[in-house]
Amino acid sequence: MLNNLTNRAPLAASLPHKLMWYFSAIALMIGLTLYLCVVGLSQWIEDEVNQRELASSAPFAIKQFQQGAKQPLKIGLHVNAYYSATLIPQQYGDLSQFPAEFLGEVVDRNQAGFLHEVFNFKSSNEKDPATKSEIFLYRNQFELNGETVPLYLIMPSENVELSQSQWNAINLFVFSFICVLFMLFGFAIHKLSSRLVDPVKQLVKQLKSPTKHSTFSVTPQSAAEFRDLANTLNDYRQQNEMMIKQEQAFARYASHELRTPLTVISGAAKLQEQNNAAEFQARQRSRIQRAALDMQHTIDALLNLVKQENATSSTAPRTLQQAEIESITQPLQALANSKGIKLSIDFKQAPVIKPTPAVLRMLLSNLISNAINASDSGEITISVNSDEITISDKGRGLSASEHDSANGHGLGLLIVDSLCQRYQWQFSLSDTQPTGCCARLTLPQTDS
């Protein structure tokens, strides 16, 4: 149970929220890092500018002292120069302990023994702000009247650094800017992830919908791949519905066509028991053989229909002969004669075809039977040319029963169409003027 809960795949609907939290956490860490970097860089730049100003003032101070200037020597607005440590104000502490060429910011807490810290950014003493004295110090030495004396350049930090209120304003601006970016980034991630997940949710909802014959669809704003997926699902659904219809028609055809020869065989066998005359026995054996042959043709055609391999590549081409057409129409002649219908064959040119004799017999027998059932008299013409085979009648014309594969005679138009597709034939059914119907089987150019 625990494994099922921990290993359960997340729902697509929860992904936008999870992505928003994940990327928000990343954005928050990046924002804090950026905030610290900006504040630290600003303070470093501020200190670096002040230190450079001190270093650049040193040659001027040395020159002035060598010319007899008094100390403290004021340079600019904020820099004071000394060469005697005793004259440096006590608030700055003992600066003589700093090494020569020292340049940096000093925090002197005015304690005995001199404690100092050097920072690259502004520091503060939270416990005792009154004793805080931050300065920028440049410590060096120079020659004065033949002696080497120290040089101290001092710049009070409070005179040149930004005030606390100014730093607070900068911090507030940077923090507000990062917060705005954080919210915009989170909103953009949420919208983008929702746009990616919403089509999946729509397709899942449509897949679970009990509505029949519905089509899959996504919003126009969805990515092209989701529209392609919806179209593919629609194609699969149509193919599945077509296969179901074909299976139903196949079952009806097998039930009808296989029952007829079995009835003939069973009846002929019983009749043989009633009469031992040689001529009568031979006639019954002939009926059994014809029925068995018809059943064999039907089984071969049915097996050909359910095969999954490509029929056009697994069957060798052959030339259709007029005798084969006559053998197909011969069993149907009795049905035509009973209705006063004439069956005529117009064999103009022998086509090259790939369907086996059993498949061709199945196709033409059912189309001719449909034509006979749709006619009360007149003539049915089977025309054969190099590129098409047509069955034309003068009957009642195309009706609803011929459109519905569930109501056609025998094979049904749906399976006729399915067999034609396997051999890349084109099947069409149309009315003729003034009355009648024409069933046309158009052969592919490769079979010509």
pLDDT > 70 in the chain, percent:
80
On whether both 296 and 351 belong to a single domain, the answer is no
Residues 353 and 411 in one domain: yes
- The domain boundary residue, chosen from 142, 168, 194: 168
CATH number of the domain that 409 lies in? 3.30.565.10
Q: What is the CATH number of the domain that holds 245?
A: 1.10.287.130
Q: What are the pLDDT digits (tens) for 424-444?
A: 889 888 888 778 889 999 988
Do 43 and 123 have their domain in common? yes
| Same domain as 25, residue 156 | yes
153 φψ region: left (φ > 0), alpha (ψ -120 to 50), beta (else): beta
Dihedral-angle region of residue 110 (phi above 0 means left; psi in -120 to 50 means alpha; beta otherwise) = left
Q: What is the pLDDT of residue 30?
A: 81
Residue 96 lies in a domain: yes
Residue 114 pLDDT level (bands cut at 50, 70, 90): very low
Same domain, 116 and 28: yes
pLDDT of residue 2: 39
Express each pLDDT in 338-382 by its tens digit: 888 899 999 999 999 988 888 888 888 888 888 888 888 888 999
| Statement to judge: residues 147 and 22 lie in one domain | yes
% of the chain exceeding 90 in pLDDT: 7
Among 128-137, 269-278, 351-360, 415-424, the range scoring the smallest mean pLDDT is: 128-137
* pLDDT tens, position by position, 194-252: 777 778 777 877 777 766 657 888 777 777 787 888 888 888 888 887 777 767 766 77
CA distance 31 to 101: 38
Together in a domain, 282 and 368? no
Q: What is the pLDDT of residue 344?
A: 92
Q: Are residues 374 and 440 in the same domain?
A: yes
Global pTM reads 0.45
**Domains: count for the chain:** 3
261 plus 293 within the same structural domain: yes
Tell me which residue range forms the domain holding 407.
315-447
> Residue 218, Cβ neighbours under 10 Å: how many?
20
pLDDT at 384 over 90: yes
Q: Which of 196, 216, 198, 220 is closest to 206 using CA atoms? A: 216
Let me know whether 331 and 281 are in one domain. no
Q: What is the pLDDT of residue 348?
A: 92
Q: Across the chain, what does the average pLDDT equal?
A: 77
